[in-house]
Amino acid sequence: MPRGSDAAGFLVPGRLAHARFPAMSNALTAPLTLDSFLAWEREQELRYEFDGVQPIAMTGGSVAHSVIAQNIVTALGRGLPPGCRTFRGDLKIIVQGRVRYPDAMVTCTPVDDEDDTIPDPVVVFEVLSPSTAVVDRIVKNDEYRATPSIRHYVMLEQRRMAATVFSREGEAWRGQIHVGPTVIPLPAIGATLALADLYAGVALRQDDPPDPTFV
């Protein structure tokens, strides 16, 4: 998910950086607590993730990014078991003392209409962007692995029909790559997702060189 700011605090699409905020200049001389970040963020017009130390401003993404995220919600809405719901990335989750805004997520825990935080995420989706792929693949993967409620973490490429899926199997956290018009099984919610459905309406670039971050 795209995020970032420049050194002056202006939002810059497609970049990841530690934002600087004049209103918090004193607070940022020392690491923020989770509670202080949450109280501060709820007063802001924009969304921010929290990396355990300071806020990271969230910025807009590409059309492809938005289409894929919406396709996830549409596809899941057709086959979730009773009591499970899908949400888009305008709601947050708290993992390992950090705050993240996945592109989509599923929970099977009741959620109040006034909540801004989704409890007990079971499946988490990120649509990868060039500027954030390393964080999504490594940092967030480690956070989601350490969060017991999360059973599947799905990372979707933007420029080609491909996904990396990590699943909790007992004590293990195992990854699998899906490429082309295949199906992603998500047994924790009794669902399957066809990659072709997730990429509907996206112009894939078959002539792109291999993405060095794709594993």
What CATH number corresponds to the domain at position 70?
3.90.1570.10
Predicted pLDDT at 131: 83
Look over the chain and give the mean of its residue pLDDT values, rounded to a whole number.
Answer: 85
Judge if 111 and 150 occupy the same domain: yes
pLDDT digits (tens, 9 = 90+) for 29-86: 567 899 999 999 999 989 999 999 989 998 778 999 999 999 999 999 878 999 999 9
**pLDDT score, position 1:** 55
List the structure tokens of 160.
């080609």
Does the residue 1 lie in any domain? yes
- Classify residue 53 by its DSSP letter: S
User: Looking at the structure, do residues 53 and 94 belong to the same domain, yes or no?
Assistant: no
The residue behind tokens 């050194």 is: 7
Q: Is residue 209 part of a domain?
A: no
Over residues 102-124, the mean pLDDT reads: 96
Q: Are residues 102 and 183 in the same domain?
A: yes
* Side chain identity, residue 114: E
Which amino acid is present at 176?
Q
Element (H, E) at 65: helix 63-76
Same domain, 76 and 178: yes
Residue 96 has pLDDT above 60, yes or no: yes
pLDDT of residue 22 exceeding 90: no
* Same domain flag for 85 and 190: yes
Helix (H/G/I), strand (E/B), else coil: 192: strand
Residue 207 falls inside a structural domain: no
State how many domains the chain has. 2
Give the whole-angstrom CA distance, residue 142 versus residue 59. Answer: 23
Terminal Cα-to-Cα distance of the chain (whole angstroms):
18
Task: Measure the CA–CA gap between 193 and 13, rounded to whole angstroms.
Answer: 29
The residue segments making up the domain with residue 139 are 63-198
In this prediction, residue 148 carries a pLDDT of: 97
52 CB burial (10 A radius; 0-12, 13-18, 19+): middle
Same domain, 19 and 88: no
| Segment 126-140 mean pLDDT | 93
Q: Is residue 206 part of a domain?
A: no
Dig out the tokens for 16 from the structure.
């990841």
Distance of CA 73 to the CA centre of its chain: 13
Residue after which a domain boundary falls, among 22, 45, 60: 60
Residue 80 resides in a domain: yes
Q: What is the rounded distance in angstroms from the CA atom of residue 57 to the CA atom of residue 54?
A: 10
Give pLDDT, residue 11: 33
Question: Both 31 and 9 in a single domain?
Answer: yes
DSSP conformation letters of 164-180: EEEEEETTEEEEEEEES
**Chain Cα centroid distance, residue 65:** 11
Question: Does one domain contain both 38 and 54?
Answer: yes
**Residue whose token pair is 């992603």:** 184
pLDDT, tens digit, 9 for 90 and up, residues 174-201:
999 999 999 999 999 999 999 999 999 9
